[in-house]
Amino acid sequence: MDTVQGFKVFVAAVQGGSFSAAAERLGLSPKLVSKYMAELELRLGAQLLQRTTRRLGLTAAGERLMASAPDWLDQLDEMTGALHESGRGLTGVLRVASSVAFGELHVMGLLRRFRALHPLVRVDLRLSDRFVDLASEGIDLAIRIGRLDNSALIARKLGQVRLLLVAAPGYLAARGTPGALADLAAHDCIRDTNLREGAWTLAEQGHLQRIVVNGPWAVNSPRAACDLALAAEGIALSPDYMVRDALARGDLVQVLCASAAPALDIHAVHLTQRRLARRTRALLDFVARDGFDGYLG
């Protein structure tokens, strides 16, 4: 039996909550995962997991093993990686998570530049606008924009994103240009539900105001909100990285320039309880040093 693989199956099953999740993460068949788990329990002489129809649970022995197994596996990976990499450079898989739009526009390019320096590293990039649980999905590093809710993560601030009020010249020609925040009530506003709040928080003359906006469009994608603004469907509150090129071309114009929204922080986050592999530390340092085309400061 491959004992190390057995430990990997155990940790992946606990973190993912099922054998099928462990199989997907490790690239094994569910049947082989079950076999490894049974052999590990037989070798250790203890039941580690309680199998139920809905989810796996830990026995007392499983809890003791889970308290040390992830760190032990990370140390083993660190040690073997250092030996393998001494003459070849960084190796292994990096699992990185990001929101869809920012990931497509900036994270992917950053990872390509990182791989140009470390060509033996393989990247598993997970793009999603839903909440991603780093532990259950085996994510090494996530790039997150906005407020961080999980204090169990270690975060490294990388910079900030500004939110800009933008509209197409055609929309403004037809509906007029707002001169004050109160004027937004008379306009079609394109709401990006990823911003979490049902209103826009904007500053006028240095005072923050919570502006309730309305319009026929609510979308959960900054790219979709930008596309709708380009189509003259209304005024959007968009991240600067999404509308920078359209503003430069004149396809969009900024409105109420003096009414700034609070900036959103960009963080790289990882789990607290895990020892960072050499490749993950290298990526974290690379992100902090090279950044996203001028968005980090």
Q: Please give the single-letter amino acid code of residue 267.
A: H
CA dihedral for 274, 280, 281, 286, sign (positive or negative)? negative
* Cα→Cα distances 257→15, 199, 264, Å: 46, 18, 17
Q: Are residues 62 and 117 in the same domain?
A: no
**Which three-class secondary structure state does DSSP give residue 200?**
strand
Question: Is residue 84 in a domain?
Answer: no
Q: How far apart are CA 258 and CA 96, in angstroms?
A: 36
Q: How far apart are CA 107 and CA 111, in angstroms?
A: 6
Q: Are residues 194 and 144 in the same domain?
A: no
Question: Is residue 217 in a domain?
Answer: yes
Residue in 274, 190, 289 with CA at minimum distance from that of residue 230: 190
Q: Are residues 108 and 125 in the same domain?
A: yes
Question: Is residue 246 in a domain?
Answer: yes
**Which three-class secondary structure state does DSSP give residue 257?**
coil
CATH no. for residue 244?
3.40.190.10
Provide the pLDDT for residue 11.
85
Provide the pLDDT for residue 174.
96
Q: Are residues 171 and 256 in the same domain?
A: yes
Spell out, as residue ranges, where the chain has pLDDT lower than 50: 293-297
Provide the pLDDT for residue 297.
36
Provide the pLDDT for residue 184.
92
Q: Are residues 19 and 57 in the same domain?
A: yes
Q: How far apart are CA 230 and CA 11, in angstroms?
A: 47
222 is in which domain, residue-wise? 163-262
Provide the pLDDT for residue 119.
92
Q: Are residues 250 and 286 in the same domain?
A: no
Provide the pLDDT for residue 198.
65
Provide the pLDDT for residue 1.
62
pTM: 0.71
pLDDT, tens only, 17-40: 888 888 887 888 888 888 888 888
Q: How far apart are CA 97 and CA 107, in angstroms?
A: 9
Domain count within the chain: 3
pLDDT, tens only, 120-172: 999 999 998 888 888 777 788 999 988 777 667 888 888 889 999 999 999 99
Q: How far apart are CA 143 and CA 141, in angstroms?
A: 7
Provide the pLDDT for residue 78.
67
Burial of residue 198 (number of CB atoms within 10 Å: 0-12, 13-18, 19+):
exposed
Asked whether the beta carbons of 140 and 147 are under 8 A apart, the reply is no
